[in-house]
Structures are given as C-alpha cells and as structure tokens.
Amino acid sequence: MAEGVFIHNPGTQYDDDPATRYHFPKMYLKRALPIVGDNVLFYESGKKGGYTATARVESINPDPKDPTGHYYAIIAPRSYTPFSKNVPFRINGRLSNSFLDDGDGKVNRGKQVWAVRPISEEDYMKVVALAAVDVSELPRFDSVDFEVGEAVQEPFVFDSERKTVEVVLNKKVRARLFRERVISAYNKQCALTGMRLINGGGRAEVQAAHIKSVEHNGPDSVNNGIALSGTIHWMFDRGLLSLSDDYEILVSRKVNNTAEVGKLINKDRKAILPENQSDWPHLSYLEWHRAHHNFEAA
C-alpha cells in the first residue's frame, strides 16, 4: 500500500465524483493499484488550484461500460475529506510532492502530466496537516499563510506524524472542514432565503447541511452540501423543503402553511448557488433527498 495523488479538475471528461469514485484510463492502472487500502490526495491544476481533499481508496474496479479501457477507483464511504483551503503546489519554495522534483528543485515535466502519481508518506502528511482549519488541534508546526500563492513556513516539527493524519481525519475536524468549505462556497449566505447574517465575532449564522445525510453515508463533499439558515436547515433535513434538478425550491405537501413558508424563501423560488459551478449540489444527491423523503411538492 502507498499514498497517491489523483488529478481532478472541474468539468473533466471523466465520470468523476471524488467523494465516491475516480475514473481513469488503463494506462494508469499499475500506478493506482498500490494505493488501494491507503490514502489519496486530490489535486486541481491551474493558478488557483492545489490539493483540495483527501480520501481512502477502497478498491479499483473495471468500468462496466469499457472494462478493458477504463477503471474506477472506489472511495471508501465517509473517508472523503475536503480541505478548507487548497494546499499549494509549492511550500516554502519546495514542491509539495517531492516525487515531481527533477533533482534540482525543478518540476519533472514528464511526471507532471501523470493523472495518477505517488506521493511519499511524509509529503502526504505535510499536505494534510497544512489543510487543517485549527492548528491548535494538530501536533506542533509553524504557521502558514494560505492567502499567498505559496505557503511560507519553517520545517515541520511533528510529535507524531501518524497522529497528525488521524487528528485531521477524525469526525470532529472533518465536520469543521466540510462546514468551512460549504459556507465559503455560498459566501456565508443561505441558499434558500438569501439571508447573510454575521455575528459580532465574524461567524456566519448560516449552517452547512448535508443533502444526502451522514447516516446514509452521504460524503463531506461540497456538492453534497448546501448553506442554510437554522430554520430552513431543520425543514430541509425533515423533507419539508427540497430542490428540483433545476434548483427550484420545492415546498412539500406536508407543510400546513405554505403561505408562511413562501415568505421565508427566495421570491423567485430559485436557490442561490455558488459562483463555482463544480460546487453546485450534485443532481444525484438531490434525487436521493427527494426519494428518501418521499417528496411531493405542494
């Protein structure tokens, strides 16, 4: 087993959903197989890209539609963990993944085009640690500025490298990473009411709701999340509100006062969506939400 990196870009031609599966051609099979049972980082290329999430690869299966040409890396349920901030390609001038180093600090262009690539355990742990929201919960390391294109820091000092990964990936921290990513995607605004309330400490009133619930193995991916104010979150979780595949706000027939609910939600009955289309609610999760609640619109 070994850690690895999967390249995933929004709008890819492949049948990817990083929270559940990664689609790749046969040419990468030998590189992907060692990662089974271990962790992988997702990387998005481009100036604003970087390492975006981590997950555990459960298995690799042939693509049923093209069993000799393409494969799926199946992501273990509840293992997908989005990072609150992308971790940059370089850290303090050095490549985050030393595997790409040509030996003189420059990028090996041949390896850079690999969509599936290895990463050392040490490099993997450093990337995951940098992705943490609250460094006070991690083994000790110096501060990092995510606002610049390249992280500036002193060398890591870990009390226990393995403990670092365990802490970042535990339930509490994973939930916070999910909340930060979803609320940031929606600009701290409730998708169904348009309200954007910020308290004196700068904390948003809005909450990060799962569309497919955690209890039913709904992933902590941004496109399985939606930013909702407290009351709307309560109604959404109980199937009193939902969304159509066109992101129209749906009110359930079970609501006994639809007129009052109509005063709360957006006047045009359309959800406010993130600027980045890849963060929009995935249609498969919306379909699950409606089916799970036996949803019938009023």
pLDDT value at position 169? 63
Return the structure tokens found at 143: 């501060």
What pTM does this model have?
0.74
Q: Are residues 49 and 165 in the same domain?
A: yes
Q: Are residues 198 and 165 in the same domain?
A: no
Q: Tell me which residue range forms the domain holding 195.
A: 186-292
- The strand pairing partners of 6, in sequence order, are 42, 116
User: What is the rounded (10 degree) CA torsion for 3, 9, 14, 17?
Assistant: 70
Question: Of 110, 139, 169, which closes a domain?
Answer: 169
Q: Are residues 113 and 9 in the same domain?
A: yes
Domain count, the chain: 2
For 72-99, what is the mean pLDDT?
90
Is 73 part of any domain? yes
Is 21 part of any domain? yes
Q: Are residues 192 and 161 in the same domain?
A: no
Is 176 part of any domain? no
Burial of residue 43, with CB atoms counted within 10 A of its CB: 0-12 exposed, 13-18 middle, 19 or more buried = buried
Q: Which residues contact 289 (CB under 8 A, 6 or more apart)?
A: 211, 212, 239, 242, 243, 295
pLDDT in tens, 252-266: 999 999 999 999 999
- Which domain CATH number covers 89? 3.10.590
pLDDT in tens, 147-171: 333 443 444 444 445 555 665 566 7
Is 298 part of any domain? no
